[in-house]
Structure 1
Amino acid sequence: MKGRLPVHVTPAPDEALLSWLCRLGALAGLSPLAFARLAFGIDSRTRPEWWRRPDPDQLAVISLRTGVSPGKLCEMTFEGWLAARDDEHDERLSAWRATHPKRRPNGGYPAAICPHCLASDKVPYLRRAWMFGWLAVCPDHRVVLERKCRACGNILRHPGLDAKKPIRIGCCDRCGVLAASVDGPIALDSVIELQQTMLALKRTGRGGMPGVGIVDWPVFTAIVDLVLRAVWTGTAVKAREHLFARIIADLGREPDERFRIEWQGNYGALVLMTWLLGLWPDRLRQMLEWLNAPGVNDIIAGLSNLAEAQRWKLLEVTGEAIHHRPRSEIWREWLDRLREDGVDVWKLAREERNWQRKERLTALAMVSEGRTIEVAAHRVRASVKLVERWLDIGAIYGLDAVTAKPIRSCELTPIQRDSIGGWLVSNGRSGPQPIGWTAEHARSEIALRFGILVTPSAVRQLLHQYRRSHRPFAPRIVPLRDHKPRE
């Protein structure tokens, strides 16, 4: 423990202390565990991540033995950076971390590396920025960080100071190939901007975030956790795919790009947050509705390690999204009200003679007594989506609307046609997607405003008819032609 070490490695730009220690140990022919113990008297078995925020005494010993100043060593750590909600853990924004927040690494620490950086290194080393558990893009080359070996598909892992054999940085554990390349998927500019803002917020602890306003780092990490739990916990695959397709369209990208994004990883989470913060909190409310996700209060209740002040701040920044309720909760309240009012849906179903109304009432009765929608749909030989539509109509317009036959355009009175058609044209939102409403959306608004349940085709017919009849008058200009007078 006395004097300088017989080996020396100059720290590289933005190199993590972990990487530098592993390179020193490999040069001495020692594993990171043995090197830290023999060279500095630091036992890394119980705390292999001590390098992130080392004690001043540890930095002093390392400086004395290597000749590197304590200030330079401190720049290779996360000293002075705010830590909140396990945000430096590997794959912090992955879907698996959202559904299993207490998971811990097994057999090494999954790595996120930039193949461009490794290709330009004379001696490969790990950047400190790569050690953030949520980083997804290389700030220098603007490419998405990679987590799998291109040669064999194995998950790349960075070393820990508890490793018991010398480390080859940047190489795959399975095939030994260096994860270096000069190509890779280019990240979206908006995602890079968001990542830079997040880095600044983590460094300072408090700052402005697009759409949200002034927040501190722990609250923002809780916002991200809220979003990820809403997306990945108990939601249908089809609904998530619809959400991802909508995100890609709103960001102005090609539709096929949706299939090239790993939505379950850090980059996919940052793309999702970029889209949400663009029109926060309106897009949060839309996302919850599309996914039929739990309510905001329920999601927040499932977040651990939140102080009471942080919970109140979360409720404040979610805005109107706080009023979102899952459709299943709305359906259950309506069915419970029917039972409290003495309505026996099973009796109505048995007495009904029309088979279409009978199957609808049967499905509602089964859901009312606690059966799943899938079981009810199988019983009446209908799709799950159709049974959900019956429940939506009943919860909004009442039981009679479920069994009533929607009115066609030709069955409306002239007064009804004029009122509905004029409103469709004048409201300014009936048009092609994504700006306007769908026919189903306009149909719901008509039922609420006029008390008339019409068919979706009636909505389209009335809109087409009254849009033509209310077209502003434009005089027709006929060019003059030269003509000779009759002789």
Structure 2
Amino acid sequence: MIWGSYRPPSAVMQWSEKDLFAVELFEPPSEEPVMQRPRLPGGIVPLPGEALASWLLRYAEPFGIAPDDLLLRNSDVQLAGRGDWCRRPHPHLIERLATATAVDPPRITEMTFGAEAVDEALDDQRERFSAQRFRAPTTISRRQRRMAVCVHCLADDAMPYVRRDWTAGWATVCVDHKTVLTGDCPECGYKLRMPALSSRDYFAPDRCPRCSFRLATASPREAHPAAVALHRKLIEARESGVFDLPGQGAITWPVAMALFDVLLGTVWINTGLVVRRRLAARIGRDFGHGVLGPEPTGSYDGLLILAWILDGWPDRVRVAIAILQAPRPRRQVERWRDLNDETRQKLLDLLLAIWPDQKPGDDRGWWRAWIENLPETGDELRARAAVDRFPHRRMRLLALADVRDGMPVELAAEAAGIIPRTLYIWLRRGAKGGLDAALDRQRGALNQAQAVEIAQWIAEAPTNQPRWRTNRVQNEVFRRYRLEISKDVAQNLLRKHGPWVRRRVGAPHRWSQPHD
């Protein structure tokens, strides 16, 4: 023990013996590497098929420290990055975990999905086959920690843990118990999530984090044998990198997932409820009544639809497109703009062999020469739309700008929120009368004979059905006379000639008697 002192920064200031404090010297740390790894505490060994995040949370639980703080150093934070790094950890992080936990690196790698960056978008997006993913896609980071569990597996576990296969975005079925994975709490509806590796919360995968409901006591939905068989093929294809397509042979894993996106996009994107119910009824006739609900939107429903299509490939692809009244395969592939050229070409080779493109007539697309030779470029049309004061002109300028840049009419109409027929009308008007003719609203007035005919058609409307809307009258007028009428005109026709009884609003109830 020696004594040291604190010297103030200013030499003028005086110090006394009270400023002395004790200092204890230690031997410098040895530079020789430790030959033996620290022994793993008993009972914290990786379980069969366990996910890396589940094992790390169980490992750090006895210490009361978050896994990131317990096992990683400050220099490893940059390699870990943001989000759920344990799905595809860097090789240096695997070595760091192996050194800290005395578990071999190959065993740790088995609990992950590998380090291939190409698979991140294929496996990490939760509920990949659900309708919500196609209609309102969200970023991957918000759904990384979402998970679904098999309640029977949790009930059989002596120590509940999360399997690696459950954390894949396309995982919907437990192949061992042939049940649908549970992603929501049956008691409170909370969406199950894997705790963050920076959290110190108690890890209990068999309990709901919100209401503490025991998930092992829930009654899961039984999976259809076709869905179980397809899910087993997906697991095998994920490990081998090759998926066996019926009648076509082996295709790579990225091409298979892109094909599933195109097929389910045909079902979920821009299709009406009536046609989707017809498809569900057709699948019910083939797979059994009640396998799909009246409005199937879940990830398991998407998996079952894929199983039905692949079970009768390629005939059922044609049946599905015909029932849904969907665009042809080439238009379906063009929706996915993030595909690389090689994958896009393989999808076209597969789908065009089933349903080739329709040969257009000689007079089809006669307006294309006008839009391609338009003096204004796509950027100039968008700049003009930015300063235009009328909303309908802005919308038309943006749609025409997309077509001017080479976008297909169907995709440009979808981006503008209109049907392709409307955009074709604008293009034909522009080819006949110029750009101003395509931008201006051309409202046609019904003559006397046409007005009488439409009034008679409205008067014969069935009264035991919901009231007709203005869009129905507008579409009927356009179908018969190729004229566009406004919503106000259609509404006046419905009020004047409709057979529906108008509801009368009575006088307000008087709560007090009038004074004499």
* TM bracket, shorter-chain basis: 0.5 to 0.7
Q: Answer yes or no: is the 8 Å Cα contact 1:115–1:181 preserved in 2.
A: yes
Once the two structures are TM-superposed, the CA of residue 6 in structure 1 deviates from its matched residue by 6.9
Instruction: Describe the shift of the 1:24–1:379 C-alpha distance in structure 2 as closer, same or farther (beyond 3 A).
Output: farther
1:156 aligned partner: 192
Match of 1:79 among 114, 117, 132: 114
Question: Which residue among 311, 314, 318 is the counterpart of 1:281?
Answer: 314
| Contact 1:126 1:169 (8 Å CA) reproduced | yes
Matches within 5 A, 1:160-171: 160-163=196-199, 165-171=201-207
1:371, 1:280 → 2: CA distance?
45
Where does 1:241-320 land on structure 2 (aligned, <5 Å)?
241-251=277-287, 253-254=288-289, 256-259=290-293, 263-319=296-352, 320=354
Return 198-207 or 105-114, whichever deviates more: 105-114
TM score, norm. by length of structure 1: 0.66
Does 1:355 find its partner at 2:453? yes
* Structure with higher RCO (Cα < 8 A, 6+ apart): 1
Aligned equivalents of 1:68 and 1:349: distance in 2? 86
Contact 1:352 1:358 in 2 (8 A): no
Pairs within 5 Å for 1:130-209: 130-163=166-199, 165-181=201-217, 183-209=219-245
**Percent of paired sites with the same residue:** 28
Separation in 2, partners of 1:40, 1:14 = 30
Distance 1:286 1:61 in 2: 54
Task: Give 3-state SS (helix, strand or coil) of 1:258's partner.
Answer: coil
Whether the 8 Å CA contact 2:283–2:308 is kept in 1: the answer is yes
CA drift of 1:170 comes to 3.1
Cα pair distance change 1:212/1:245, threshold 3 Å: farther
The verdict on how the C-alpha distance between 1:381 and 1:278 changes in structure 2, with shifts beyond 3 A counting, is farther
- Tell whether the 8 Å contact from 2:90 to 2:115 is kept in structure 1 after alignment: no
Structure 1 counterpart of 2:153: 117
SS in 2 for 1:259: coil
Picking from 51, 62, 72, the partner of 2:97 is 62
How does the TM-score come out when normalised to structure 2? 0.63
- Deviations, residues 13-37 of structure 1 (Å, cap 9, x unaligned): 1111111001011121122333343
Instruction: Tell whether the 8 Å contact from 2:151 to 2:182 is kept in structure 1 after alignment.
Output: yes
CA deviations over 1:216-252 (Å, ceiling 9, x no partner): 111111111112222222221222122112111122x
SS in 2 for 1:109: coil
Given that 2:243 and 2:250 are in contact with CA atoms closer than 8 Å, whether structure 1 keeps it comes out as yes
- Residue 355 of structure 2 aligns with which residue? 321
Contact 1:315 1:322 in 2 (8 A): no
Q: Return closer, same or farther for 1:107/1:309 CA change in 2, 3 Å cut-off.
A: closer
CA contact (8 A) 2:50 2:164 kept: yes
Distance 1:160 1:333, change over 3 A: same
Contact 1:282–1:321 (8 Å) recurs in 2: no
- Confirm or deny that 1:366 pairs with 2:481: no
Q: What's the CA shift for 1:287?
A: 2.2
The reply on whether 1:103 has 2:144 as its aligned counterpart is: no
Partners in 2 of 1:250 and 1:206 — Cα distance?
28
- Structure 2 unaligned segments of length 5 or more: list them: 1-32, 359-408, 411-418, 433-441, 459-472, 496-516
How much does 1:45 deviate?
Answer: 7.1
Aligned-partner residue type, residue 478 of structure 2 = M
What is the match of residue 14 of structure 1? Answer: 49
Distance 1:309 1:157 in 2: 36
Report the count of equivalent residues. 377
Deviations along 1:180-201, whole A, 9 cap, x unmatched?
A: 1374222111111111112222
Q: Please tell me whether the aligned partners of residues 149 and 179 of structure 1 are also in contact (alpha carbons under 8 angstroms).
A: yes
Structure 1 residue 154 displacement after superposition: 1.5
Which runs of 5 or more structure 1 residues have no equivalent in the other structure?
383-487
CA distance in 1, matches of 2:139, 2:311: 31
RMSD, aligned α-carbons? 4.0
1:25 correspondence with 2:137? no
User: For 2:87, which of 52, 55, 70 is the aligned residue?
Assistant: 52
The one-letter code sitting in structure 1 at the alignment partner of 2:88 is R
1:322-380 Cα deviation digits (max 9, x unpaired): 54899x65798799999999xx99689644597379859985443645679x9998787
Give SS of 2:281's match: helix
Partner of 1:208: helix, strand, or coil? strand
More off after superposition, 351-360 vs 167-176: 351-360
Letter in 1 for 2:133: R
Summarize the Cα distance change of 1:125–1:267 in structure 2 as closer, same or farther, 3 Å threshold: same
Whether contact under 8 Å (2:266, 2:332) holds in the other structure is: yes
Change (3 A) 1:363 1:100: closer
Residues 179/40 of structure 1: CA separation in 2 closer, same or farther (3 Å cut): farther
Distance 1:339 1:35, change over 3 A: closer
The correspondence for 1:37, drawn from 72, 75, 80, is 72
